[in-house]
Amino acid sequence: MSKTRLVDQLDSKFFEEHQNKLYQALEDKHTTIEMLDEDDPLNTKMVLNMGPQHPATHGVLRLILQLRGELIEKAKVDIGYLHRGVEKIAENKTYQEFMPYTDRMDYLSPYSNNVALCTAVEKIANVEVPERAHYIRMIGCELARISSHLLWLGTMVMDAGAVSFFIWTFREREKLYDIFDHIGGHRFTISHARIGGVANDLTDDALAMIKDFVNEFPQELKDFHGLLDRNKIFFDRNREVGVLKPEDALEIGATGPTLRASGYAYDLRDFSPYARYDEVDFEIPTRLEGDNLARYYVRMEEMHESIRIIRQCLDKLPKGPVRTDNAKQAYPSKDEVYYSMEGMIHDFMMTDTGICPPEGAETYHAVEGPKGELGYYIQSNGTGHPWRLKINSPSFKNLQALEDMLDGEMVADTVVIIGGVDPVLGEADK
Amino acid sequence: MDLELSDTLQNTVDKLSENFADSFVKVYQSTGDTFILVEPHNIVDICRYLKEELHYIYLNDIFGIDRFTTEDRFEVVYNLISLRDREKFFLKVRLPEEEPVMDSITDVWQSASWMEREVYDMFGVKFNNHPDFRRIFMPEDYNYYPLRKEFPLLGIPGSIELPNSTPDTE
């Protein structure tokens, strides 16, 4: 048999060197399997390029699969199609200016991203946050988690074949968008958190809407459970599919629900509590199977826990200011800006120079985003701009796990597995 | 400088300075996080020791820093977590501006693969013995390292080949 190289068979037009190296890497992966490479008279072998415009890949994810019939022999993931260089942008912006960019990182749960950046800046610059702001942030983060998990649920079930489900989860997400609209004035990219607190207090309308949602949503969740838990098609498509064994999960660096579905109860809300998570009760759902069904159960239970946390936050919500009253550390309130000269000067100074952490300080702070550990490392050089800002994004790490999970699966399960891992490319590509 | 180390971290620092005396440089703290600076040549052994003896089993992140100094310009930081002791710390190495090369720790943690590729892509730090050493975000044809400080914010015009925006006209 004259075995031609992959590189020669596939003719690439753009970024020739990039494509060639990628094909080469696919050919080199697990070189031991190459021994099986016998004569292939039925031509069952092919290389399938999936993405970056594939609708089931949740964004611009590109997969290169080497198939043998319907079996994926090996897979490579190519990311970077949404690389915008936000870390470079961050080095040229003040901390507050950079915050709207974090909305566009994990665009399915902008609130968690805002809070992650703000908590990191507060840690490095030693800013006190008022009690009420902590609770408002927790409510926002948990709503964002539900919103993100609802999108995952809709798309994952749609990938498994049930399109109508997508519409039901989006009906619930619509309610969340309305709540966010009332909280911060934006439906999608909220940018509600501020360094030193949040932008504005919850209005009575917003509070009433959150209460309604918390009362109604458990019934919806129950309906979702009723539809899927004993559904044979859903069960068969997800059980023992995309298995990530507990012993591999840490090794390959999985995080968030993907890690918890493989048996590790690693949740930052419990591991190193931030905001006021140490004052509320909640469970960390885990499963041992590590397959797609386990991830489904973990995320569904997480939504239950989120509702529980929001209920407790609403009960405990203390009265008081929502932003620290120190003009050197946070924006003054709009009342002050409009009616006093000092307020206006402070507002200008915050916009122009921003908050200046001590020179040479370094910090890392992470929050538990819906996808996993979302951390910000900041190094300051004493000015209003960070010297280095590194985002530790959960999707990036989970995608790396995906590359190994796909080996040996069926090609039809690819989209289901991607749905189960729930990556967001805006975050993975930075 | 006074250090406020927890028992676990104190133990880690003691063991490291004992067993890797020639690599250990210093330990310092900043805003509550602990950073241990070591020499790069022994990094694989240090990481294996940390993972197997001291239970830092989870590699959370690897990232680079451009200090923009004449000596030891680049830093590579490893974020390690011990789930048993609920503790984390940062292991740092410094590399020179000319030929920043160090050993890959993919033998110790498989997850280091993509993270090291990201450091290479953004800073040009090369890793020996890496199983799949390619760029990760930027295409292979790209000749620059964007997160280095000398790289302009707006990019370098013409450095990246873009598809024809009006395909019909060719």
What's the CATH code of the domain at B63?
3.30.460.80
Q: Could you list the residue range(s) of the whole structural domain that residue B26 is in?
A: 7-101
* A288–chain B nearest CA distance, Å: 17
pLDDT > 70: percent of chain A: 93
* A41–chain B nearest CA distance, Å: 31
In a domain, B126, yes or no: no
Average pLDDT, chain A: 86
Torsional class of A319: left (φ above 0), alpha (ψ -120 to 50), beta (otherwise): beta
Site from B8, B29, B30 to mutate, A interface, most A CB atoms within 10 angstroms:
B30
Between CA A409 and CA A425 the distance in angstroms is 22
| A17 contacts B134? CB cut-off 8 A | no
Report the domain count for chain B. Answer: 1
Minimum mean pLDDT range among A177-181, A366-370, B14-18, B76-80: B14-18
Mean pLDDT of the B131-144 span: 87
Residues present in chain B in total: 170
Residue A187 has what DSSP assignment?
A: S
* B15–chain A nearest CA distance, Å: 23
| A379 contacts B79? CB cut-off 8 A | no
pLDDT of residue A384: 86
- Which two structure tokens, joined as six digits, stand for A102? 């974090």
ipTM of the complex: 0.89
pLDDT band at A416, cuts 50/70/90? Answer: confident
Task: Map out the domains of chain A as residue ranges.
Answer: 6-78, 86-428
Any CB–CB contact under 8 A between A328 and chain B?
no
A258 and A395 Cβ atoms separated by less than 8 Å: no
pLDDT digits over A113-160, tens only? 999 999 999 999 888 899 999 999 999 999 999 999 999 888 888 887
Which residues touch B159 (CB under 8 Å, ≥6 apart)? Answer: B142, B143, B144
Neighbours of B20 (CB within 10 A): 16
A379 and A387 Cβ atoms separated by less than 8 Å: yes
pLDDT digits over A310-358, tens only? 999 999 888 888 888 887 788 888 888 888 888 888 888 888 888 888 8
pLDDT of residue B170: 56
pLDDT digits over B27-73, tens only? 888 888 889 989 888 888 888 888 888 888 899 899 999 988 888 88
Between CA A188 and CA A178 the distance in angstroms is 9
- Collapse the DSSP code of B101 into the 3-class scheme (helix H, G, I; strand E, B; otherwise coil) and give the result: strand
pLDDT of residue A37: 54
Chain A residues touching B109 at Cβ < 8 A: 251, 253
Between CA A207 and CA A317 the distance in angstroms is 11
pLDDT digits over B115-125, tens only? 999 999 999 89
User: Class assignment of domain A86-428?
Assistant: mainly alpha
Q: Tokens 């190289």, residue?
A: A5
Between CA A18 and CA B139 the distance in angstroms is 5
pLDDT digits over A37-84, tens only? 566 656 677 888 887 876 666 778 888 888 888 888 888 888 888 888
Chain B residues touching A373 at Cβ < 8 A: 60
pLDDT of residue A346: 86
In a domain, B21, yes or no: yes
pTM: 0.86
In a domain, B68, yes or no: yes
* A394-405 vs B112-123: helix crossing angle, rounded to 10: 120
Mean pLDDT of the B130-158 span: 86
pLDDT digits over A8-31, tens only? 667 767 778 888 888 888 877 765
Which residues touch A377 (CB under 8 Å, ≥6 apart)? Answer: A120, A362, A363, A364, A388, A389, A390, A392, B61, B63, B77, B79
| B33 contacts A124? CB cut-off 8 A | no
pLDDT digits over A353-377, tens only? 888 888 888 999 999 989 989 999 9
Identify which of B86, B137, B141 has the shortest CB distance to residue A79: B137
pLDDT surpasses 50 at A170: yes
pLDDT of residue A56: 65
What residues does B88 pair with on adjacent strands?
Answer: B81
Nearest to A101 by CA among A124, A82, A84: A84
Beta A62-68 vs A71-78: how paired, if at all? antiparallel
Any CB–CB contact under 8 A between A377 and chain B?
yes
Chain A residues touching B111 at Cβ < 8 A: 251-253, 397, 400-401
